Structure 1
Amino acid sequence: MTDDTATAGAKKRPPREAEADSLPAAGDMASLAAGLRSLAGSGRHGRAFSFLRSLAASPPRVILLEGGSAKERADFALYWGMALNCEAPLSDGEDGAEPCLACPVCLKFLARLHRDLFFLDGTAGSITIDEVRAVRATLGEAARESKYRVVILSEAQSLTEAAANAMLKSLEEALPATVFVLTAPQRERLLPTLVSRSWVLTLAWPDPLVAKEDGADPETARGWAATAAKFLATGSGLFDRTGARGGVDAAGALALILVCQRAMAQVFSGMTGEGIAPGASPEADLARFFASLPENRLAIAGAVLAEGQESVTAQVNPALVADWVMTRLYLLRPKGRS
């Protein structure tokens, strides 16, 4: 959570219903549709998309999307709005209707220009109480053009405390044909009262060890996994690497964070590295480290990793970010751990 006073002077466009007067160029729209279609059909996320579509017949009031990357979470949220409102769905099987990504409704959602779509973008800074109030002012009205009004809080961990509390009231006051989507790296980044009201869908985490993610090739990712595992076990080996000239760039810092996030995701899935000899696999060693943390410290670790990721994206010195993230994680170790 952030503080409203921290962004009081920021010039940020107030949230409002999207205007559908004009769409981007046809080529740009085709590119957006192709990207989302590729994501929906990918091996990483195909099952999650299918499961999301299966909910469309009786949609939950609030869905929380965690995992994946920030862009993937935003794309999932928009896809959900299209699945609920598409005018020409492609199929309606056991896993629900698949939006066409070509009708006027889908195109307006893709461009974030639909009149029944509110998109509050937390990647642009804190989501303030004034923005939430602007949304609440219309939630007592029926949707204007589609079956459902869709309110997306992209990167909802950027909600200020006052805005988060106002959003709780919005969830209770909105008409039945209004659905909310919260996105966040991990559910632990949000108020427990928001999470408790949400249907949570965990997306596949970025896997830097298999494919290129955020500019980090697999070899680089494996090297950082080994560095992270050694540092968390012994407190050594990291600073020699980050302190060397050119020792870590933005892609390397992101790879370091991603291998740790993946290890956390494995723990959440019950894969704790047990049965693999210590030192035989850095990834298993990382999973064992996170599995050793009590629940409250695991939540702190998730927040540390997400803040580190945001800091690299904001172009903070990658070496400083890497040192800060790993030091914070090391200090979370249970007492007596060798």
Structure 2
Amino acid sequence: MRLTKEGTEFYDNLTSTEKDDFISDLQIELSKIIPVNIERLSSSVKNLNNQMFISLKIQSSKKERSVKSIIDDLNDMIKYKRITSISLFLNTNYLDEDFGSVPNQNLWGKYKIRILGVVLAFGILMVLFLLAHKKERKGRNMAVLQLGLIIFDFVINALFVSNNGKVVEALYIPSLMFLTVPTVVNAIGAFYIIFDENKSKTFLDWFAQHLMVALIFTVLSGADIEALSILHSNMAGFEFFNAPFSTKGKNSIFWASCLNIFAKDIPQVIIQILYIDSVVIYDIISLFALISSCLNLLINIVGRLFQTINICRHGSLEAPATERNFTSDELMSHSIHVKGENDSKKNNLTKRSSKGSFQEVIP
């Protein structure tokens, strides 16, 4: 429910105690008008763009009217308050007839196709990951999922700013700033890293052979500088994902990613949490944006922590090859090799034992 401008002005001029009394009296009046047991009602107030919104919660009951029927009746009475009891009470008369009483959204019912689309896209990424892992087990094939998340996170955050940014006016400028500024800085940083790497003949040869892929990922790095690291992931064993980055280049990507956490990821999560907390009704874009930002933040923090541990232990971002985990194929071949050696030693011992016994029998 929403208060009219007059109602909002009246509410704002009340003291803290008077505001509590206003909400309490409003609930009493609604319980008489609907009618409904007042113990089933509770409410909270939010100020959105200088207008007060009241969220009325109605507990379900098996003995009394259903929540849906109460909401439907309340919506009709508010919208036609001039001919209903809503206009007869002091506090309910401040309810905005243009807004009515809007129930909480059934996100699944309203956005079922979009949700299924996201699930399907994730399923496709999982299949691609498994195929990449089957083709090249030694590659960092999680980069498939990483790339998908980078693209999804950027697109959904851009949609959030364009579609939802102005709903809460105080959050529009910060949300726009923390989307555009890091994107521009990341893009400039990515082009600089690639330009610097091209001073190496080895990298320049790779760059010349895979120019289009390099340019695509350099542009994608505007969304997240970590996209550059995919170029040296050896994903699926493809040559264009085996860029010979120098240690300096890898370190530059690492430090830029660390900066991104504080300059982009954390601010975006905070803004989206504040948005969800500020609005009365939120759509699927804002929900997806929050989920994506939280997931992206978590992955980036964990990834940077692992890289930091490697730097502390080994002096480099990646663990030495001697300490990497064996793949299943390597473990199998290793076990067969060990078994073969053990069998060979066992046969030699048996032969020696037999020979010794034979010599003891002969006088």
- Common fold by TM > 0.5: no
TM-score band, normalised by shorter chain:
under 0.3
How high is the TM-score relative to the length of structure 2?
0.23
- Greater relative contact order (Cα < 8 A, sep 6+): 1
Q: Which has the higher strand share?
A: 1
Q: Which has the higher helix share?
A: 2
